[in-house]
Amino acid sequence: MTDAALEHVEMVRRPVRRVLLGSVRELALVPAIAVLFVVGIFTSPAFFTTANFSNTAQFSAALGMVVVAESLILLTGSFDLSLQSIYGLAPMIGAWLIVSKDAQGLGTKWNPGLGILVVIGIGAAVGLFNGFMIVKLRFNAFIFTLAMLILLAGLQQGIVSGRTIYDMPPSFIYLGGAYWAGFPVSAWVTAAVFLAAALFLRYHRAGRAIYAIGGNLEAARAAGIKVDRIRIGVFTLAGALAAVAGLMIAGQVVAVTANQGNNLIFTVFAAAVIGGIALEGGRGRMIGAFTGVVLLGLVNNVLVLRNTSTFWIDAANGAIILIALGLARVVALVRT
């Protein structure tokens, strides 16, 4: 090869060192996940089985979906606390419209397909509303979405007077209850959504615009990016994803309780942040958020297999999150 040709090859390929260095932040959790695997294998013979992984995947699928949603918003430099209430209220209303009065429904007995559309529509509508109020009317994201969280959770309780909706038709619970090739459909779907989001963020110009907006909003605007439209669009998409996640969990437990989604948002933030999604926006990747979800799912799984009292699981989760944050900080310091 001539020198010029060598130079050409060098020009188009990214140096391996740079690729690895760029991924340090995203892959910081991989060693922790490996350790958990080892601990899991020594803890119980039931750990390294397809059935256990299938269960863990099902347990994490709905959470993962909301993590994708929140991560997208976080990357634009904002956030939405009310995703957890969308996760509860949207499937609640969908189910309410399609089941009989005996099963705590309204009695309208709509077609389940229509019910699913209603679920997604409510999620998107709430997301759009939040996005519009925060982006266009400049409400503070924290206090506005907190108010929405409380309002929507209250509606969820009020509509069914605190009762649980059950007896939902098979098509409505298919997403959360069915299996493909031995693994839950919800896990396949969430994995696909992670992959799609990762590719979108990497290769679509709107995905790159999300990073630009979170990194320097004014510079993004100056570069001709339609900042407001993309920010509101991300809120809307995230709302729809959170609603689908709620549909998953409803299918898994074959019911919609009046407090579905309670406290979920803390775990969502934890998974995203320990996975390297920066709270200040513009930094982080889906692969990182994915490892965050996997880590939290494995921690829970190992604790359950060790017969840890359920009353201690939250404390263990909190400790793991703190340790992961500490590791991420160390990685950041090493990089600079």
List of residues contacting other proteins (CB under 8 A): 11-12, 14-15, 18, 22, 202-206, 208-209, 211-212, 214-216, 218-220, 222-225, 282-283
Q: Which is nearer to other proteins, 25 or 119 (CB)?
A: 25
Instruction: Write down the least CB distance from residue 219 to other proteins, Å.
Output: 4
**In the complex, least distance from residue 28 CB atom to other proteins, rounded to whole angstroms:** 17
Cβ atoms of 124 and 243 within 8 Å: the answer is: yes
Q: What are phi and psi of 168, to 5 degrees?
A: -85, 150
Alpha-carbon distance 88 to 151, whole Å? 12
290 and 25 in contact (C-beta within 8 Å)?
no
**What is the enclosing helix (H) or strand (E) of 274?**
helix 264-274
- Closest CB 284 distance from other proteins, rounded Å: 9
Min dist CB 201 to other proteins, Å, is 10
Pairwise CA distance, residues 168 & 154, whole Å: 22
Q: Tell the smallest beta-carbon distance from residue 8 to other proteins (Å).
A: 8
Secondary structure (3-state) at 290:
helix
Smallest separation (angstroms) from other proteins to the CB of 79? 17
Q: Which residues pair with 14 in a beta bridge?
A: none
Nearest approach, Cβ of 134 to other proteins (angstroms)?
21
Nearer residue to other proteins within complex by CB, 24 or 322? 24
The helix/strand/coil state of 306 is: coil
User: Least separation, in Å, of the C-beta of 283 and other proteins?
Assistant: 5
Residue 183 β-bridge partners: 180
Of the two residues 220 and 265, which places its CB atom closer to other proteins in the complex? 220
Which CB atom, from 28 or from 165, has the smaller least distance to other proteins?
28
Nearest Cα neighbor of 333 from 115, 25, 15 is 25
Quote the tokens at residue 126: 């709430």
The amino acid at 160: V
Is residue 35 within 8 Å of 253, Cβ to Cβ?
A: no
With respect to other proteins, which residue has the nearer C-beta, 15 or 182? 15
Residues 88 and 262: their CA atoms lie apart, in Å, by 8
Q: Which is nearer to other proteins, 18 or 138 (CB)?
A: 18
Between the CA of residue 27 and those of 30, 36, 177, 198, 290, what are the distances in Å?
5, 15, 31, 15, 10
Task: Read off the tokens for 55.
Answer: 């269960």
292, containing H or E segment: helix 286-305
Least distance (Å) from other proteins to the CB of residue 91? 32
For residue 81 the two structure tokens come to 């606390």
Nearer to other proteins by Cβ, of 202 and 306: the residue is 202
Which of 117/219 has CB closer to other proteins? 219
25 or 267: whose CB is closer to other proteins? Answer: 25
DSSP 102: G
Terminal C-alpha separation, the chain: 37
